Every structure is written in C-alpha cells, then in structure tokens.
Amino acid sequence: MQRSIVPLLGEREFHITSATAVTTFIISFGVVKAFANLFAGLLADRFTRKSILIVGWALALPVPFILMWADHWHWIVAANVLLGLNQGLAWSMTVVMKIDLVGPRRRGLALGLNESAGYLAVGLTAWVTGCIASVTALRPQPFYLGVAYAFVGLALSALVIRDTTPHARMEAVSGTSVPRKHGADSASVPEPPSQDFRSIFAFTSFRSRALRACSQAGLVNNLNDGVAWGLFPLLFASRGCSLEQVALIAALYPMTWGLCQLFTGQLSDALGRRPLIVGGMLLQAAAHAVIALFIAAPFAAGLTASLMLGIGTAMVYPVLLAAVADHSRPSWRARALAVYRFWRDFGCAAGALLAGLLIDAFSASAGAPTAMLLPIHASGILTFASGIVVWRQLPPASPSSPLTPRP
C-alpha cells in the first residue's frame, strides 16, 4: 500500500522537503525487518514456526490504522517499525516452512511460488491503492485494504496453517544424500566451527565464500528496491507523470517480480543457481541505465525500467534463498537463512538512505530533478559489481541437501 502513496504523502501532506527525511519510513522498515529476520531464525529453532508466524501477523494489526490517522510523520515511521517486525517474522516463517516441506529437489520451485505470491500481491495492491488515491485522496481510503489484509493474515495463520517443525527435525536426523543434476554431494557443504548463533552469523556473512556471495548480492538487490520504493514516485511525479502513471510504474516492478518468480525458482533447480543470479543482477544494472538515458520520456522509461527490474529481481530473489539453503545443513539452515535475510533487507534501508543523502547533497547545485538521477547511477554501478562478485565466488554447482526429498 505504501509503494505508490507514502512518498507522495510525505511531500504533499506533511510538506517534507528533505529526501532523506521522506525516506525515513523505508529506513525504519528496512532496519527493523533486517533485525527481525535475524532473530526469526533463532526463535524458529527455539519455538515453533507457527507461533512465530502468528506473532508476526498480530504485530501488523495496528499498522493500517496508524497510517490512516497519523498527524505527524513520526507516526508514519513508527508504523513502519511495526511493519518491519511483521514482515521479518511472518515472511521469514513462510520461507523456512516451505523449505521444511519440500526437500532439496523442489527448493527453488517452492521459494519461487512463495515469493511470487507475495510480490504479485505487493504489485497489485500498489496499483489499486494508487487508483483509489487518484479518485479520492491519499488518505484514508487507500489504506482500508490494509485492515482486511492484516485480519485475514492473522486468521489464516492461527486457524489454517499447520506447523512444519516436525518436518525439519525429520530432515535433520535423515542421513541419505540425494544427488542433483547440477549439484555436488552433501558432504561438500562446509560446516561452521560451531552451531552457536555468533558462529553461524560470521560463517554466513564472511567466512563461507558461497554464503558471503549470496549475502552481498541480497543486500545490493534490496538496495535497488529501497531506491525504487523511495525514489520512483518522487522522480516520475517531478518529471510530469500523473498519479495513475506513477502508480503503474510503482506497481509494474513488483508485479513482474512476482509473476516471473513462478518460473525462475524452478529454472534454477534445473540450470543451477549462479547463471540466474548473475544474469538477474546484470539485468537490474541495465534497468538503471535505461532510466538515466531515457528520462526525457519519463513514463516510457519508467515502465521499461520497472519491467527490467522486475525480471532481474525475479531471477535473483528466490534463487538466492535456494542457494543459501543449498549451502547450509538442516540443523542450522533456519539461522543461516535468517542471517542472509538480515543482510538482504538491510539493503532496503541502505538504498533509501543512499537515495536521500545523494539527492539532498546535490539538489541545491544541480536541481532536485537532476539530483534524483544520482542514486540511479550509483545503484546501477553497485549492482553490476555485485553480479561480478557472485560470478567469481559462488560455485557453478549448488551442493545437495543431505536428505531424501519427501513427495
């Protein structure tokens, strides 16, 4: 709901002139979600997956009401703290629970389905709320959907979802190795020195060459998302696009991202993880170049770039999760995924902060519309470099999991 509305809300209703200040809601969301991801894995191993999922959805209930009634920007930031906790706990559990259920052979497919469902909903809701705002107002009508979403999410989690912790325990005690078409034997998966959380954090972040490559790629991928979320509505509105056009640009990126993940996760099961990750990062870098080169035709440039970003992100998003799962063992996989998702979602805050600081630093001398292109250039360069790092550090074949897959 916030992708097409809240940046414009900060500028038009709260009269915030600093780009850094406008993006504080994304920064608070990204930082809190990153830390929630980190602790979600630890909590999932200590408690049940379902209980953490329910807590995550309960934290979402106040968010749409705060967004509707906030009389100061601080409340918008506070709502995103709760939203970050909700997303970090609830979405982390959907990822872990899918991996618990499917076994190694269909890991990419399952995560592609999971991320596709989420980001199709993100894109459709961004478009719908933009259309509602164009005929009513920026608040409160677009946020009525959020009230329904929060209650339905909580009800499904409490009443329908079954816990998958027993599946993870079964996997951990099974000793059968399953060869994959593109994978090595599970014995090749290195282990951290110990299984305490500090050791797993260091191993996933720095010590494991493959997991380090995944963590940095996830951070840069979501840096792009933070830039797009905070900057696209302001950039294209400043170039003369209508609110309906801005909403379509903001929605096309996650909608394409969501739809294409139906195929990219499964494709990585057949072709391997590295080709899709590298190709996706390079395609995202090219999307930034399209915006910079063709901004004179802003609506066309925005649609083209959003489409390219969506496809590129879909090639990366579920495949990085599957790659992290490939390079970790069942006994510490939830924590490894939590560390990866910490770095990935920290990128969202980093992207928003990068965009705000660059715009504020150069808008006085270059003008705000021109300064808004600087984060686009910076993101493109970083994304290109990240793809090269993955090519050099992630093995071309992903190791298998030490499990016989369940049907």
Per residue in 243-278, pLDDT tens? 888 888 888 888 898 889 888 877 888 888 899 999
Return the minimum-mean-pLDDT range out of 8-12, 32-36, 72-76, 79-83: 8-12
Q: Residue 172: its pLDDT value, please?
A: 62
* Integer Cα distance of 241 and 384 in angstroms: 29
Q: Residue 63: its pLDDT value, please?
A: 94
Q: Which residue has the higher pLDDT, 44 or 69?
A: 69
Q: Residue 177: its pLDDT value, please?
A: 41
* Integer Cα distance of 407 and 404 in angstroms: 9
DSSP 187: G
204 with 336: CB under 8 angstroms? yes
Q: Residue 178: its pLDDT value, please?
A: 38
Q: Residue 47: its pLDDT value, please?
A: 83
Q: Which residue has the higher pLDDT, 139 or 215?
A: 215
Alpha helices in 107-242 (DSSP H): 107-135, 144-159, 165-173, 197-202, 209-238
Does the pLDDT of residue 188 top 70, yes or no? no
Q: Residue 167: its pLDDT value, please?
A: 76
Nearby residues of 369 by Cβ (< 8 Å), 6 or more positions away: 235, 238, 239
Predicted TM-score (pTM) of this structure: 0.77
DSSP 48: -
Q: Residue 402: its pLDDT value, please?
A: 39
What is the CATH number that goes with domain 6-162+193-393? 1.20.1250.20
214 with 98: CB under 8 angstroms? no
Q: Residue 305: its pLDDT value, please?
A: 93
Mean predicted confidence (pLDDT) in 138-165: 91
pLDDT band for position 186 (cuts 50, 70, 90): very low
Q: Residue 238: its pLDDT value, please?
A: 84
Q: Residue 187: its pLDDT value, please?
A: 46
Mean predicted confidence (pLDDT) in 149-171: 86
Mean predicted confidence (pLDDT) in 308-321: 92
Percent of the chain whose pLDDT exceeds 90: 31
Q: Residue 222: its pLDDT value, please?
A: 92
* Integer Cα distance of 295 and 290 in angstroms: 8
Does the pLDDT of residue 398 top 90, yes or no? no
Q: Residue 189: its pLDDT value, please?
A: 59
**Phi-psi domain of 367 (left: phi exceeds 0; alpha: psi -120 through 50; beta: other):** left
Does the pLDDT of residue 225 top 70, yes or no? yes
Alpha helices in 196-297 (DSSP H): 197-202, 209-238, 243-271, 273-294
Mean predicted confidence (pLDDT) in 120-134: 86
Return the minimum-mean-pLDDT range out of 137-151, 311-325, 328-342: 328-342
Q: How high does pLDDT run on average in the chain?
A: 83
261 with 322: CB under 8 angstroms? no
Per this entry, what is the length of the chain? 407
* Integer Cα distance of 384 and 389 in angstroms: 9
pLDDT band for position 2 (cuts 50, 70, 90): confident
